[in-house]
Amino acid sequence: MSTLVTDPRPLSEGRPQERGRLYGLMAEFATPGELLRAADTVRKEGFRWWDCHSPFPVHGLDKAMGISPTILPVAVFGAAATGALVGFLLQAFTNSWSFTIWAIVWVTGYPYLISGKPLLSMPAFIPVMFELTILLAATSTVFLMLLFNGLPRLHHPLLKSDRFRRVTDDRFFLVIEARDPKFSRARTESLLRSLHPVAVEAVED
């Protein structure tokens, strides 16, 4: 990390505040349209470690940033299919199967004979299969979403910035992280300034 900022003074001299290393450069925009244009430019410059922040979803931002579609739906479909299968096996195993292991251990579930219906009765299994499908699909949606987004995290460097507070109100931000291979303090700053932001701020971790 070439951009690591170090304080030459030793700790014992009582410097007021530990200075962190540079997290990235943050540009603040007044409108979503400016953010879209800025995102378009930054993408074309070839940056990889950067993100946009806005008070509401901005249509077309994914495209401007060049974000590839999420694989979340595929994963959720897999979880849902697993739920249906588990639901079926659970009931088939407990209600209908009995077997022995080397004729020593007898494995019997909970065969429940009711109104002459066979032990392996699909109609009776479907509600449980349905519920498990929904349960696994819903929980995997939430938790995989958190996982893919790197959440939960207890701290984010941007939250230190007072300027960034307006992201929940009326300002739009684009942040290029210092770890990006193309990042250079001076050149990246001049790039961001050329995009007509309200302000550019260096954010430290």
Partner 1 sequence: MAHAARKADLSSTLADANIRLDGGVESIVRNAWIVGGVGIVAALAWAFLSGSGAERIGRVWIVTYSFVLSIALGGLFFTIVQHLTRAGWSVVVRRIAEAYAANLRWMWLLFAVPVLLLLVTGKFGYVFPWADLAHMREVHPDEATLVEKKTAYLNVPFFLLRSTAYLAIWAALGWFFWRRSTEQDADGGIAATERMQRWAPAGIILFGLSTTFAAFDWIMSLNPAWFSTIFGVYFFAASCTSAFAAMIVALVLLERRGKLVGVVTAEHFQDLGKLLFAFGIVFWAYIAFSQYMLIWYSNQPETTGWYIARQMGGWKWLSIALLFGHFVIPFLLLVSKHPKRYTTTLLFVAAWMLVFSWLDLYWLVMPQIPEGLATATSYRALAEENAGVSTRLADPLNWLALLGFVGLFVGSTLRTLAGHALIPVRDPRLAESLAFENM
- Site residues (CB under 8 A) for partner 1? 57, 59-60, 73, 77, 115-117, 123-124, 126-127
In the bound complex, what is the minimum distance in angstroms from residue 46's beta carbon to partner 1? Answer: 26
By C-beta, is 98 or 149 nearer to partner 1? Answer: 149
By C-beta, is 20 or 127 nearer to partner 1? Answer: 127
By C-beta, is 24 or 32 nearer to partner 1? Answer: 32
By C-beta, is 35 or 203 nearer to partner 1? Answer: 35
CB atoms under 10 Å from CB of 191, counted, come to 20
In the bound complex, what is the minimum distance in angstroms from residue 2's beta carbon to partner 1? Answer: 38
In the bound complex, what is the minimum distance in angstroms from residue 33's beta carbon to partner 1? Answer: 8
Which three-class secondary structure state does DSSP give residue 137?
helix
In the bound complex, what is the minimum distance in angstroms from residue 134's beta carbon to partner 1? Answer: 11
Give the residue among 191, 179, 166 at the shortest CA–CA distance from 28: 166
What is 96-118 written as a DSSP string? H-EEEETTTEEEE------TT--
Pairing, β 22-29 against β 199-204: antiparallel
> What dihedral angle (degrees, nearest 10) is formed by the CA atoms of 39, 45, 46, 47?
-60
